[in-house]
Amino acid sequence: MAHSLSAKKRVRQNAKQRTINRARKSMLKTFTKRFLTAIDDGNLDKAQQEYKQLTHKLDQIASTSTMHKNTASRIKSRMAKRLNGLKTKGAGSTSAA
């Protein structure tokens, strides 16, 4: 248990920041899930739109102390790979038909 005033204040600050960080990460999971659902459905237009929103949110969150910028960059790269895979699969199926 914190005894000094500064330690008590730090406990309050940590609790407040933890709440904010958890909300941001939860929002990020929601955007990621929407993107992955669009990928699974094979909807290229919706997937591109969701990817744009996801990358925007990742950049916003990475600019804070919630997530490191390299972590956000890694996630964006992995999601871009999935999107490009859908693009090539879509392009391959139309040219073969």
pLDDT digits (tens, 9 = 90+) for 17-76: 999 999 999 999 999 999 999 999 999 999 999 999 999 999 999 999 999 999 999 999
Sign of CA pseudo-dihedral 72, 63, 67, 41: negative
Instruction: Report whether CATH 1.20.58.110 matches the domain 5-96.
Output: yes
Predicted local distance difference test score (pLDDT) of residue 89: 85
Residue closest to 39 by CA, chosen among 94, 88, 72, 93 = 88
